[in-house]
Every structure is written in structure tokens, then in C-alpha cells.
């Protein structure tokens, strides 16, 4: 049935990555491109046209449901561009700009299966797991694909404060506390280490980093991440970036569109084809 | 009863020493007093609330002993293939040393959580978040789906898990495992035919029983039954970050001839 | 039920601080028969996983200095044992009891650390 209904689309879907850049599931079925026949399984991403076709779901207690699964909603290749800024607009201090321009994508910690932290996303599904207990919503966990280094992130929803600086060992995800402002989830985080990169370009930061994320589900199919970055060690002033996440429709039979296992370390040969040494050789030693 | 403090039994006795800093008893000190006592909590809809920071509840060193089997039973049930694999293994080779997953039903000394996530419908997924191992999680589909045919499943470290409630017991049924993880430090093996059913019952506020049935015709001549017990960590404990691969130096300079990429040691 | 819990509490009290069992087996890498007692100055601390590490300069009888790589518990385990970031700093004088690497290198699993203020803390793994 699907094979017969050819939908005219402006973007040519080429066989490959299933999570196309937001144009949705059109043109499924057997296709021909340049004489090559292939099957387009369709994209699980909810298209722009469908994004407002249903109401925003709510949980039994009235809270907006932020579960997802989602794709996008953060930086990847270039935080400045991905976050809606013009080239050069990111207020990096001179040493930070210099470092970013010196860094090479092949050296980024992520290639050694280390966490990518915020506001980074890769082109795979992720979810907000809103953990309801007998005492209400105690935590929200951000789940990236199983085994995608640093796979889960904890947001405390019980009103606690950040611990004093000298009682906290800086780590990849920091210490996150969350609260609601209407239907917007606000996540305030400090305590990051300086080891991850904001993008594959290598935009750096320091342990002074303080982030405030404001997540608002603006429609059934779309969620906005207003991301404020405050790091006097690497930036001349705080800056706010905007990212948009797109909803996925998981297929229960194939698992496409839902979280899947991704054990980065099981056979990480990053760089071997290019003769790179060190990072990605199967173990990681950050000394 | 043995399983309750199996972790303690394995360890040689060392005098308990001071907490490093003042400011109230540490989590370790509080844990020594035993788990919190009280009734089993429930969610508003009556479902048992499995939330909490849990420790134990699975094998670490020796699945036979820690799972309540009489000594020698497990080896007697092994096929020749399983015996050969076990004989070839030693603890320095295990994938866990290289920050690879521990699969099911193994646990680490680090805690884990059950995350129940009702959405605008009844919960379709349940997650088991681990602090330790590779700081990852297991995904259990609670929406009534069946397993895909095993030929269509890509073998994975944690398999394909479906779950449902039988009264107050959470049943998790998993197939689709790869054969790469070890059940324990001994190296008890399995194949891709492994099928595990776990029955998790929160017996009180502070304790949870995990009854595990394992079938693997390629490795064991009949189904295996184990019982493990998890205990609740004191309130105030949380899952902390644990990124194994950030500074893993296992074997690199401590074991002559060790190959960190494969876990093999050149004699 | 009460007796079970009391027995568990007593036994747990007698044994090493939680986590009693290591992330991985210690005896694969370290020889329980090669006990070491070292005193030195802290040169570096890595607050990392799977093990935090403390590096100390140990003066030898002949006046030379050997830098030892000391393996501690994971950060999360140290935190649960009451450690904070300020417990040990670069430049502090500490002493340790532990077991040495099978290779004979200057690497040890440090079971007990005596802090600058004289307090002893459990820091290592103890399984056999």
C-alpha cells in the first residue's frame, strides 16, 4: 500500500541514516535513485507537518510529559551554528578561541567512548525518564543510547541545592537540579569537569561552567532547549543558545526510533584506518 | 540467608577505620547498620514502588555460591563445551576489566535503581540504571510486546527484555544475549541461546529478592535456579557518576605481557 | 528476621567498608603476599574511575626518589566512605599500606591511607 503512494517531496531521501534531518517519514518503500533500487524504511521522526497534529501529552498529575523519545535538541558539529548564533558571535575568550581552532575532531574524547555531556547530542534517540515514585517525581533521568558513554544523566527534582564546591569532584555530567516554571523544565548544573568538548569542533570550557537549560515542549512533536552557558573562565559573558528536539515514533517490532544498545567500547577502532594512535585504540587513558 | 552477606563473606576481615571527614556518618557507616526497615511502598495506582538505591541482588564472584546452589551442582550440570570454556578462563581476561558490560544477572559493588516511568499512558518502559560497570542501563519493555524471533535479534550484552507484573512481582524475560559477558569472576560461560527469567519481589522497604531461572541448552543440561537478595542503601545515597573508561589502567603495567585491548596475557 | 539483620550488621561491621568487593578482582593485578608500607609526598591525584589514583614521591635510603602510583577505590566509593576532595592535597605527607603489582613496578593497591592529620581511612579493595 505504502509502495504505491508516492509522496512528492522536496528533499531527496537517500538510503542511509534513518533519522533524516527532520523531514519526516515520506517516501517509504522501494525507491530508485540513479538507477539503484533500495528500500526506504521511512523515518521515525515526526515531520514538521505532523508536529502540531496532536495535543501535548500530560501525565496523570497534570505535568507535561517530556518523555519522547527525541532526536536532536543540542549541539553536535558546531555549538555556535547549531545553537542559532552567527559565526563569531559566541563570546569566547581569546585563549579559548585559539584552543578551539587548534583542536581536531579526531582527537575529541568522544572518539574514546567518553561522555559528550551537555548540550551535546548525537544523531541517536534519547529520552527524559520521569521517575515517579511513592513520593512523587523524585528524579528525571536523561537516557542516551545504552552504553553510549555516560549513558545516563541524573537531574534531582526534590528541591535540593548544589553541594559546596570542595565537596564535589568535578565530573562529566556535573550536578543537576531541576524545577518547573509552568510547563518548562529548568535544569541548573554546576560541577562539570573540563574534559568534554561542546562540539566536534572542540569548543572548550572550564570547571567554572554553569549551565541553565530550559526545556519546553512547544507542540506534540517539538521541544525547545534554551541553553544558557555561563563560564567566566572561557567566555567573556554568558550566552544563550537555542536548540530544537524532534519527536520520534518508535517501532515496537524493529526497535527503530527507540533507545538501542550501543556499547561503544566493545570494538572501538576509531582512527585505525587512518593510522591514528592513542585515543580510540580500545582503551582510554586520560593521563 | 547466606546470600544476604555474600559480599561480606568474600572479603578478608579488616578493622573498620575512621570515616575520612567529619560531618555525620558516611554512607558506608550507615550501611553497616543494616537496611532501612518498613513496609513496601506503592505508587498511587497500587503498583509496588521499586524505587531506591539498591546494592547486591546478583552474582559477582561465583554465581553458584552466591545464588544459593549447593557446591558442585553447577559444574555437574555443565556440558563438555561449557567445562572447556570455563577451564580456559582466568579472571585477568574478563571483559569487565576492560569496562565492558556485565550483562544479566551480574551486579557490581556499585548501586543501581529501578526507574518506573508512567507517561500519559501506563508505563511502557522500565529502566534499571547502574552506577557501576559502564554506567549504563537495562531497558525493559512493559507494553505487552513479545520478543522478536531470535533470528531477527542482534545479540547484545543486555539482550531484549520484556516485563510484566504478577501480583507484586516484577517478571523480566530476556533473550537475545551475546556470549561475551561473564556471569561471575570465575568465568561461568553461556551461549547466545541463553534465556533468563528474573522475578523481582520487594519483600520489605529495605530488601528485594531476585529469583533467576536460566536456560541455556548449549551450556547446561537443565534449567538453573538462583536466588539473590538486594538491600536498600540508606536514604541520602544516590547513584553517582562512574565512567569506567576515563582512566582505566587495568593490567597495563601491573601484569607483565598483558594486552589491554584483548585481556590476554602473553606468558 | 531481627536476628538475621543483627547478624548481618555485625558481620558487615567486622568486614571492610562497602563496597567490600572491587569493581574487578584485585589479585589478578596485585600480589597479596607483596605487602608494602610507604610514606611520601603527594605529587598528583586523579579523581577518576574505575579507580582514583594518588601518586607519591617516596625517598629511598640512598636519597633518590621513586614515584609510586597508588590505586584507591572508585570516586563514588571514596565519597561513600566519607572522602571529599579536600581530604588529600598535592604536597601532603601521607603513608599507606597496600599490596604491590605483580610486575614489581612501583604500583600498589593502597588499602589504608593515613592522612596528614593522622586519621586512617580505608581506601582500597580487599577481595581475595
Whether A26 shows a pLDDT value over 90: the answer reads no
Of A126, A129, A128, nearest to A115 (Cα)? A126
For C24, nearest residue in chain B (alpha carbons): B97
- Give me the pLDDT at residue A272, please: 58
SS3 call for A25 = coil
| Domain residue ranges in chain C | 25-122
The answer to whether the beta carbons of residues C23 and B98 sit under 8 Å apart is no
Q: Tell me the H-state helices in chain A.
A: 79-82, 94-102
Whether A270 shows a pLDDT value over 50: the answer reads yes
- Give me the pLDDT at residue C109, please: 94
Whether A201 shows a pLDDT value over 60: the answer reads yes
DSSP state of A95: H
Count other C-beta atoms under 10 Å from residue A202's C-beta: 18
- Give me the pLDDT at residue A11, please: 30
User: Cell numbers 555443565 label which residue?
Assistant: B78
Q: Which of A215-219, A270-274, B86-90, B140-144 has the lowest mean pLDDT?
A: A270-274
Mean pLDDT of chain A: 83
User: Cell numbers 559477558 label which residue?
Assistant: B181
Whether A280 shows a pLDDT value over 50: the answer reads no
Cβ contact B14–C119 (<8 Å)? no
- CB pairs B-C closer than 8 Å: 191
Determine the topology of domain C25-122 in CATH.
Answer: OB fold (Dihydrolipoamide Acetyltransferase, E2P) (2.40.50)
Distances (CA, A) of A202 to A98, A191, B59: 10, 20, 42
Higher pLDDT, B3 or A124: A124
Q: Which of A11-25, A108-122, B79-93, C72-86 has the lowest mean pLDDT?
A: A11-25
| Domain residue ranges in chain A | 44-263
pTM more than 0.80: yes
Of C112, C110, C115, nearest to C88 (Cα)? C115
Whether A5 shows a pLDDT value over 90: the answer reads no
The answer to whether the beta carbons of residues A113 and A149 sit under 8 Å apart is yes
Taking only the tens place, the pLDDT of each residue in B37-81 is 999 999 888 899 999 999 999 999 999 999 999 999 999 999 999
The answer to whether the beta carbons of residues B245 and A283 sit under 8 Å apart is yes
Burial grade of C105 (CB within 10 A; 0-12, 13-18, 19 or more): middle
> What is the three-state SS of chain C?
CHHHHHHHHHHHHHCCCCCCCCCCCCCCCEEEEEEEEEEEEEEEEECCCCCCEEEEEEECCCCCEEEEEEECCCHHHHHHCCCCCCCCCCCCEEEEEEEEECCCCCEEEEEEEECCCCCEEECCCCEC
A139-159 mean pLDDT: 85
Q: Where are the beta strands (DSSP E) in chain B?
A: 54-56, 112-116, 125-130, 137-141, 160-166, 169-175, 195-202, 207-215, 224-232
Low pLDDT (below 50) residues in chain C? 1-20, 126-128
Residues of B in contact with A147 (CB under 8 A): 101, 134, 136, 157
Whether A181 shows a pLDDT value over 70: the answer reads yes
Q: How far apart are the first and last CA of chain C?
A: 30
Select the residue from A70, A124, A143, A253 to test the B interface by mutation, using most B Cβ atoms within 10 A.
A143
- Give me the pLDDT at residue A8, please: 32
- Give me the pLDDT at residue A180, please: 98
- Give me the pLDDT at residue A150, please: 65
- Give me the pLDDT at residue B120, please: 63
Which chains contact C through at least 3 pairs of Cβ atoms less than 8 Å apart? A, B
Q: Which residues, 6 or more positions from A179, have their beta carbon under 8 angstroms from its beta carbon? A: A157, A159, A186
A192-218 mean pLDDT: 96
- Give me the pLDDT at residue A145, please: 82
- Give me the pLDDT at residue A19, please: 55
Could you give the angle at the alpha carbon of B243 between the alpha carbons of C43 and A186, nearest 5°?
110
Low pLDDT (below 50) residues in chain B? 1-18, 20-22
Which H or E run includes A201? none
Could you give the angle at the alpha carbon of B199 between the alpha carbons of B195 and B202, nearest 5°?
155
In this complex, is the C-beta atom of A287 within 8 Å of any C-beta atom belonging to chain C?
A: yes
Among left, alpha and beta (phi > 0; psi -120 to 50; other), residue A191 is: left
Higher pLDDT, A34 or C19: A34
C-alpha cell at A245: 528536539
Amino acid at each position: 500500500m505504502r509502495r504505491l503512494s508516492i509522496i512528492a517531496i522536496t528533499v531527496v531521501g537517500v538510503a542511509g541514516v534513518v533519522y533524516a534531518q527532520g523531514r519526516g517519514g515520506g517516501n517509504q518503500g522501494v525507491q530508485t535513485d540513479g538507477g539503484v533500487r533500495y528500500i526506504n524504511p521511512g523515518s521515525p521522526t515526526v515531520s514538521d507537518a505532523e508536529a502540531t497534529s496532536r495535543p501535548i501529552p500530560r501525565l496523570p498529575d497534570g505535568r507535561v510529559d517530556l518523555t519522547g523519545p527525541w532526536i536532536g535538541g543540542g549541539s553536535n558539529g558546531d555549538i555556535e551554528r547549531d545553537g542559532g548564533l552567527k559565526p563569531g558571535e559566541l563570546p569566547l575568550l581569546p585563549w579559548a578561541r585559539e584552543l578551539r581552532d587548534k583542536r581536531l575532531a579526531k582527537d575529541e574524547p568522544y572518539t574514546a567512548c567518553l561522555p559528550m555531556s551537555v548540550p551535546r547530542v548525537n544523531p541517536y534517540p534519547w529520552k527524559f525518564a520521569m521517575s515517579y515514585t511513592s513520593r512523587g517525581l523524585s528524579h528525571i533521568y536523561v537516557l542516551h543510547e545504552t552504553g553510549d558513554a555516560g549513558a545516563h544523566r541524573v537531574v534531582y527534582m526534590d528541591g535540593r541545592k548544589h553541594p559546596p564546591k570542595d565537596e564535589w569532584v568535578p565530573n562529566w555530567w556535573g550536578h543537576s537540579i531541576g524545577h518547573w516554571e509552568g510547563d518548562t523544565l529548568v535544569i541548573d548544573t554546576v560541577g562539570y569537569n573540563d574534559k568534554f568538548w561542546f562540539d566536534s569542533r572542540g569548543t572548550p570550557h572550564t570547571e567554572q561552567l554553569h549551565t541553565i537549560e530550559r526545556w519546553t515542549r512547544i507542540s506534540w512533536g517539538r521541544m525547545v532547549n534554551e541553553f544558557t552557558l555561563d563560564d567566566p573562565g572561557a567566555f567573556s559573558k554568558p550566552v544563550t543558545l537555542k536548540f530544537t528536539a524532534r519527536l520520534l515514533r518508535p517501532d515496537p517490532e524493529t526497535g527503530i526510533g527507540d533507545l538501542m544498545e550501543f556499547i561503544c567500547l566493545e570494538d572501538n577502532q576509531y582512527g585505525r584506518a587512518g593510522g591514528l594512535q592513542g585515543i580510540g585504540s580500545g582503551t582510554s587513558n586520560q593521563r | 540467608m547466606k546470600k544476604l552477606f555474600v559480599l561480606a563473606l568474600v572479603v578478608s576481615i579488616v578493622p573498620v577505620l575512621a570515616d575520612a571527614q567529619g560531618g555525620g556518618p558516611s554512607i558506608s557507616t550507615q550501611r553497616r547498620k543494616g537496611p532501612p526497615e518498613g513496609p513496601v511502598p506503592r505508587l498511587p495506582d497500587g503498583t509496588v514502588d521499586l524505587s531506591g538505591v539498591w546494592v547486591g541482588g546478583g552474582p559477582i564472584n561465583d554465581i553458584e555460591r552466591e545464588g544459593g546452589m549447593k557446591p558442585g551442582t553447577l559444574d555437574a550440570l555443565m556440558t563438555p563445551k561449557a567445562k572447556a570454556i570455563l577451564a580456559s578462563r582466568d579472571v585477568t581476561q574478563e571483559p569487565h576489566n576492560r569496562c565492558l558490560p556485565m550483562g544479566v544477572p551480574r551486579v557490581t559493588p556499585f548501586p543501581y535503581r529501578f526507574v518506573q516511568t508512567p507517561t500519559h499512558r501506563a508505563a511502557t518502559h522500565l529502566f534499571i540504571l547502574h552506577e557501576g560497570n559502564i554506567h549504563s542501563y537495562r531497558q525493559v519493555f512493559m507494553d505487552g510486546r513479545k520478543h522478536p524471533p531470535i533470528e531477527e535479534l542482534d545479540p547484545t550484552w543486555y539482550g531484549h527484555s520484556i516485563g510484566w507484573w504478577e501480583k507484586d512481582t516484577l517478571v523480566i524475560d530476556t533473550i537475545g544475549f551475546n556470549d561475551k559477558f561473564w556471569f561471575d569472576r570465575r568465568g561461568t560461560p553461556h551461549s547466545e541461546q541463553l534465556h533468563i527469567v528474573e522475578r523481582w519481589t520487594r519483600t520489605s522497604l529495605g530488601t528485594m529478592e531476585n529469583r533467576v531461572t536460566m536456560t541455556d541448552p548449549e551450556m547446561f543440561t537443565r534449567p538453573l535456579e538462583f536466588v539473590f537478595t538486594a538491600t536498600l542503601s540508606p536514604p541520602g545515597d544516590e547513584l553517582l557518576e562512574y565512567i569506567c573508561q576515563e582512566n582505566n589502567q587495568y593490567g597495563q603495567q601491573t601484569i607483565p605481557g598483558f594486552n589491554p585491548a584483548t585481556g590476554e596475557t602473553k606468558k | 528476621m531481627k536476628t538475621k539483620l543483627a547478624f548481618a550488621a555485625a558481620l558487615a561491621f567486622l568486614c571492610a567498608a562497602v563496597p567490600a568487593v572491587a569493581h574487578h578482582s584485585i589479585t589478578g593485578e596485585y600480589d597479596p603476599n607483596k605487602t608494602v608500607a610507604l610514606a611520601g609526598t603527594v605529587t598528583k591525584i586523579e579523581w577518576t574511575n574505575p579507580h582514583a589514583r594518588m601518586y607519591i614521591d617516596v625517598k629511598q635510603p640512598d636519597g633518590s626518589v621513586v614515584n609510586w602510583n597508588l590505586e584507591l577505590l572508585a570516586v563514588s566509593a571514596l565519597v561513600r566512605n566519607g572522602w571529599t576532595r579536600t581530604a588529600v592535597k598535592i604536597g601532603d605527607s601521607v603513608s599507606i599500606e597496600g599490596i604491590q603489582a605483580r610486575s614489581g613496578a612501583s604500583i600498589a593497591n593502597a588499602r589504608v591511607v593515613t592522612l596528614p592529620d593522622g586519621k586512617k581511612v580505608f581506601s582500597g579493595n580487599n577481595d581475595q
